[in-house]
Structure 1
Amino acid sequence: MNIHVDPKVDFHWDDSHVLPPVIYPDLEFLFQRMTEKTLDVAYRSGARFLDIGCGRAVDAAALLRKGMTGVGVELSDRMLECAQAHLTDAGLRMRLVRAFGETLPFSDNSFDVVICKGALDHFFDPAHAVREMARVARPDGWVVISIANFESLGFRLGRALDRFLARFRPKHDAAPRLWDLPHDHTIRTSFPLLCQLVKPYVEIERVWGVSLFFGFPYWNIFLKRLPRPLAFGILRVIDRFASIMPFFADVLVLRGRPRRPLPARIPSVRKVPGFSPETGPAAAPGV
């Protein structure tokens, strides 16, 4: 397993750095479709959901508007403040809890749907976090995970082309590439790795792919030069192929049912300041 360990826990993380100054059509489409697909496969009429790594609670708010009820979990104080502000502005109410994904402060079998979108690769112990998702999901419930695929076709082709072009660039050119693992990520997720993490605790129903070719050099510039309707039309067409070929897709969306009985906990190999695999963070209050 390709693990990148950062010993620091950022309790004040925010998403201000996530989006670049210029949003090209491929990135806009990727985020849009990732959200649409995740919410689509997670929706269950009248169900109670848990959104782990809820961020600004935008996705949770969309599910609340559809008649679901839920709880949001977030480690960052800053993002909890943003989530509460968004819910208040939208006239919605939902309990928000500060907690580690690896030690969820909820009883077994508490939720119909457990969602983790774009957050699993930020956790210090992703496998243990998946076990926690399965634990708090009801036996007939769903676990839904959406995550970037760092071995997508776009990234693979991009790396190959970059190695070729490197022959003609100055040796000191060390600019970061889209396929480089961000500093706040702990795993370099791929389709096989996601399945490896999930299978011990979740019976996988299906994995969908979202978007193709993000990260391939000059693809974004090509799309930017096209009329917007044409660019998005092209992206929608190739997204259909991504859906049935998740191995190559830019984003993976997985849905499955929690295994019962749940396998024993796998001991954590990480020592995280302020975190114990048994007790979690020092405090996980409701907000």
Structure 2
Amino acid sequence: MVGIGVLALVLSACVSTVLDVDVKATQPIPAALVAEMSRKSMSPSAPILIRIFKQESELEIWKRDRTGRFALLKTYPMCRWSGKLGPKTRNGDRQAPEGFYHVNAGMLNPNSQYYLSFNLGYPNRLEAALGYSGEALMVHGACSSSGCYALTDEGVSEIYAVAREALRGGQSAFQVQAFPFRMTPQNLAKNRNDPNFAFWADLKRGYDSFEVSRRQPKVSYCGRRYVFDAEFEDGEPRDPLAACPPAANSPEMAFAERTQTDLATAERLLISGRTVSAHAYSDGGMHPTFRKLLERNGEKALAKRTSLTSVPISRPEAALADPHSPEE
């Protein structure tokens, strides 16, 4: 006879079968991915860094190789994210966060409602100081989102295993960088008139620090914004809302030049009229590979493809409509 506790576990939708509860979080990194690490001079225990791009609906895993720099290991298509381009500011706004986060071992969730997950740690120190609200913002499986990033059960299983081994290998926490889009001059020009542009220009400085150095940027907060790779004369600023103290190092770093060059290029593109309209969203996006499956086979078929427990697709009509023209 099945015990009450086991029956409740089966019905909870947190796991796909009773057997999965003990093994899904301990699955090894797939052999093909380990082989790819070896080919790229990486070890399974080496530190990782994750980047997320809403508009492209993609998540990247970067891993430190034997040179001491990070290199791209794999890009995963995201099945669903919700909200629009822009930061999350309040509980219930369906916005998936944008910013810089740090995930430690205690933030991995082996008993997630959506197979496996990890908590981004929203709100971070800056967001909390600004009064932003919300909790349990995750990267998880399935194809359903109300403020999270969903990658399918198979995808999150790989990511979870890679993250778990990096944390076991000695990395105290891995950095997650969440962006509205790839920070190219073209995308910046398209979105130049968005009310979030100043915030995105701030995020771009961290984006460029990593692009130029291939090292994890040091994240600080002051003046109501992010500050990257700075050393302050009086130490780490404690209040993210306070004015930034004098910097002990020169602000003219390599990534600062790249940021200014790309912003200037974006302005020229905007003035020239060679940019197309920015994407608009009613409720989030879906990677084109999943969108095609949804269009061709329907939501039930996609749910079976993306979740071992066939979790329903969140707002499939919006997923098919987005992104759309701002004039629509």
TM-score, normalised via structure 1 length = 0.26
TM-score, normalised via structure 2 length = 0.24
- The structure with higher relative contact order (CA 8 Å, sep 6+) is 1
The structure with the larger Rg is 2
